[in-house]
Structure 1
Amino acid sequence: MKKDSGDPFRIGDLVVYPAHGVCRIEAIEERELCGAKVRLFVMSLNPERMTLMVPTDRAASAGMRALSDPELAEAAMKLIGGRSRSKRGIWSRRAQEYEKKIRSGDLMQAAEVVRDLRGGTDDPGGSYSERQLYELALARVTQEVAAVLRTGESVVRSRIETAQASRAA
C-alpha cells in the first residue's frame, strides 16, 4: 500500500491512538471542515465498531504512534508478571494516575496499571472503579501485544493470567 504524500502512516497500518487503543487506518481523505480543507486519517476500532478521524497534521501531537516492537511487547508482558507497586495513598489520586497512564498510549505504562491492579478483579474488596481501570488497561495491553506478536487476544490474555498466577503463587 502506497504511502501518501508525507504522511507517517499508510492505509492498512495498525496504529495506537492513546484515547482508544489499537486502530486500523482505513483511508486517508481530504475533507472540508469549517471552510478549510483538511487531510484526515480515517481509522476503525473493531471492538467498538467506531470510526475516528484525525487530522494528519495533528496525529503526532495527539499521541498517535506506530505499534511497539516485539521486544517492547515482551518487556510489557514480563512487567505484568512482576511485583506490584504498593497501594498507598488516596484512591482518587491513584485512580487519576492510573487513568493518565492508560490514556498516555504508552504500552509499558498500561502494563504497570495491569500489574498494580491485578488483584482488583478477583479481590472482593476491590472497588468498581478499580476493576474498570484494570479492565481498560488489560484491554489496551492485550490489543497491542496481540497485534505486535500477530497472535490472538485470547492467547495474550492467557499469557497474562499465567504470569499473574505464577506471581501470586
Structure 2
Amino acid sequence: MATNPKKAAQRQGFKTGEYIVYPAHGVGQITAIEEQNVAGHSLELLVIVFEQDKMTLRVPVAKIASVGMRKLGDPAAVKKALETVRGRPRVKRTMWSRRAQEYEAKINSGDLNAISEVVRDLFRSDSQPEQSYSERQLYEAALDRMAREIAAVNKCSETEAVKQIEQNLAKSPSRLKAAAAAEAEAEAEDDEDKEEAA
C-alpha cells in the first residue's frame, strides 16, 4: 500500500489546513490530501487530525458527503447556538434510556444547534439537584463538542469558549428566576438570624 502526499490542496471544497466538523468526532484539521493504492485501486484520502483526542483519520474523498463532514459553522451559527443555550430547558417525560439515546444522536450529528440543545437541557446550576453519572457524561461530551467548534470559529481557547457558553447558560430566564429565588431565600434566612441575635 503506497501513500503519496498530494500537492493539490483542495477537494470538494475542503482544503488542507482548514478546520472541519466530523460528526462522530467533532472538530479536526485537514493536514494533507494523500493518494493510496488499495487492491490495485487509487484512492484519494483527506488526512484529518483531532488534536485533543490524539487521533488521525483518513477519509476517502468520495465518502465526504456520506459521512456528513462539514465546514465549521460561521459566527451567525455560533450566535444562534449561544441563544439556544439561553432558552428554557426542554426535558421530555420519557424514560432516561430513550432520552440518553436521543441526546447521543444529537451530539454525534455534528449539528452545532442540536449539540447546544443537549447542553441547554442537561445543564445543572449549583442551586439545582445533582445529575446522574450518565447525564453528566453526556453534558460534558456536548459541552466539549460545542466549545471546540466555538473556539475554532472565534479563534479563541477552548477554556474561553466554555466560559462563553456558561455565561449564556446563566442568562436563561428559568435559571435567572431560580437564582433570584435562592438569593431571596438566603436573605430571608439572614434576616431571621439577625432578629434572633437582637
| Fold shared per TM-score above 0.5 | yes
Identity %: 46
Q: Kindly indicate whether the alpha-carbon contact (under 8 Å) linking 1:120 and 1:131 is maintained by their aligned counterparts in 2.
A: no
Structure 1 pair 33–102 and aligned structure 2 pair: CA distance change class (3 A): same
Mapped partners of 2:57, 2:128: distance in 1 = 36
Query: Is the contact made by 1:121 and 1:134 (CA closer than 8 Å) also made in structure 2?
Result: no
The higher relative CO (CA closer than 8 Å, separation ≥ 6) is in 1
Change in 2 beyond 3 A, CA 1:63/1:161: same
Counterpart position of 2:13: 8
More helix by share: 2
Shift of 1:36: 2.3
Structure 2: 5+ residue stretches without partners: 1-6, 177-198
Aligned AA for 2:33? I
Cα distance change, pair 155–47 in 1 and its aligned pair in 2 (3 A): same
Distance change (3 Å), C-alpha of 1:162 and 1:100:
same
4+ residue stretches of structure 1 with deviation over 4 A? 120-124
CA contact (8 A) 2:23 2:68 kept: yes
Count of matched residue positions in the alignment of Structure 1 and Structure 2: 168
Structure 1 residue aligned with 2:42: 37
TM-score by length of 2: 0.79
User: Which residues of structure 1 form unaligned runs of 5+?
Assistant: none
1:62 Cα offset (Å): 0.1
Give, in angstroms, the shift of residue 34 of structure 1.
Answer: 3.7
Letter paired with 2:52: P
Q: Is contact 2:8-2:33 (8 Å) kept?
A: no
Tell which structure's C-alpha radius of gyration is larger.
2
Q: Does 1:102 align with 2:107?
A: yes
CA change 1:122–1:11 in 2 (3 A) is farther
1:51 is paired with a residue of what secondary structure?
strand
Cα separation, 1, equivalents of 2:83 and 2:94 = 26
Q: 1:90 to 1:81 in 2, by over 3 A?
A: same
SS in 2 for 1:126: coil
- Asked if structure 1 preserves the Cα contact closer than 8 Å seen for 2:27 and 2:50, the reply is yes
Per-residue CA distance 1:67-118 (angstroms, 9 max, x = gap)? 0111011110111111100341100000000000010010000000000001
